[in-house]
Amino acid sequence: MNARAQSLAEPAVTDYFVCASPLGEHVDWLAQTLVSAGAVEAAPLEPTALAQRIAGLNPVLVFVDFSGGHAQAASAAAAAVRLSHPGLPIVALGSIAEPESALAALRAGVHDFVDFSAPAEDALRITRGLLDHVGEQPSRHGKLIALLGARAGMGASTLAANLSVLLQKRSAAQGRQTALVDLGLPAGDGALYLNTRCEFDFVEAVRNLRRFDRTFVNTALARHSSGVALTSLPPNLAGLRDVSYASCVGLLNRLRAFFDYQIIDLGGFSNRDFVAQTACAVDESWLLCDQGVASVVSAVELLDSLRDAGVDTGNVRLVVNQYDPALGLSPAQIAERLGLSLAVTLPSRRVPIGHAANQGKLIVDVAERDPYVRALEPLVERVTGGTGAAASRTASGLSALKRFIQPTSKRS
């Protein structure tokens, strides 16, 4: 991958906005104004077409153009968005120089108002404020969990594959979806355990970041028979040098819009800078370690490197894997040595796990009551139990609009 300085300087598309307007120049103006905040995609004011565009892109904000005599159509479009995508913030685009359209925007119940005749910095400030404070729909802000291996051979890929399928099985009835991002080394172990061929690899996905919408996700990513989506490292790891850390993390954030749960297997991944940046982006990291002295020492070194990179290791939990009571060192002792909270202890079940793998299957599929599978339950609950709380919204532009409109409306 590129050097860290280069990767941090390169913008990554993590947010998409839809601008519903019949005027191409207004869409272009908004796209240029918000280039540092995200990508703007055009859409018509026609309600059905607009709803379809939103369903495909899963944007964080929708801008609706009330200017130029299109107030009635814009009001209908805003109403359709509220009906089809409740909770998705709607921002009016227009000009205070047009009181009728500004009043229509206010009556439409928009979250905020961007005046295209005002300085572009105002539009960017309003947008960033909404991104910071407007609560997102739970369905489009999925949870990211990173699995870190203290060293190769910790069983991260086995855990990632089994946990992903178990999550998918448990949540499919609620319409939730799970993805496995198989970045562990040796490359492709996750895909091997899932017995699924991955044609569209992670590097290709990063390069195609701007193309990601619902249709692209459904057609490009490989699927396990359980429904788990999968992308993996390319056979030639040299391709990783051509993509930046920021773009890779941008892809993970973009996939939040389409998957409720992402399990990111980083077991054995040797690039500590990338591991650190990923650990900063995820909701929680789980460090896998066994009872071996070498494993504990490697875990200490990994944690030290994360702290040196500015990662808050308070967000890292310990998973003691391949546990055997006969070896003496307890999970509590390992957790104390590493200074981490213990998430779960997974028993040593090498023979049944290997027997399932030799049949091209996972242990969660062939032995649901196996101690290893039962031990995964606390992790499933940990992933599915927490959802983001709604935040309050900002109304800087809308407040200004109200101050302007109120005297006018009183005279009418």
The per-residue pLDDT for 287 is: 97
Cα-based angle 386, 392, 396 (whole degrees, multiple of 5): 150
- Hey, what are 274's tokens? 């990338």
The per-residue pLDDT for 21 is: 96
Query: Which domains can be identified in the chain, with CATH numbers?
Result: 4-137+390-411 (3.40.50.2300), 142-385 (3.40.50.300)
DSSP-assigned letters across all residues of 345-369: EEE--HHHHHHHHHTT--HHHH-TT
How are the residues of the chain apportioned to helix, strand and coil, as percentages rounded to the nearest 5? 50, 15, 35
The per-residue pLDDT for 387 is: 35
The per-residue pLDDT for 53 is: 87
DSSP-assigned letters across all residues of 284-338: EEEEEE-S-HHHHHHHHHHHHHHHHTT--GGGEEEEEEEE-GGG---HHHHHHHH
**Whether this model's pTM surpasses 0.75:** no
- Hey, what are 220's tokens? 């490009």
pLDDT of the chain along its 412 residues, tens only? 544 333 333 444 567 899 999 999 999 999 999 988 889 999 999 998 998 888 778 888 999 999 988 999 999 999 888 877 777 889 999 988 888 888 888 888 888 899 988 899 999 999 988 887 654 343 447 899 999 997 888 999 999 999 999 999 988 878 889 999 999 988 989 999 999 999 899 999 998 887 787 778 888 999 999 999 999 999 888 888 888 888 888 889 889 889 999 999 999 888 888 899 899 889 999 999 999 999 999 999 999 999 998 888 999 999 999 999 999 899 999 999 999 999 999 999 999 999 999 999 999 999 999 999 999 999 999 999 843 222 223 344 555 555 555 544 443 3
The per-residue pLDDT for 133 is: 60
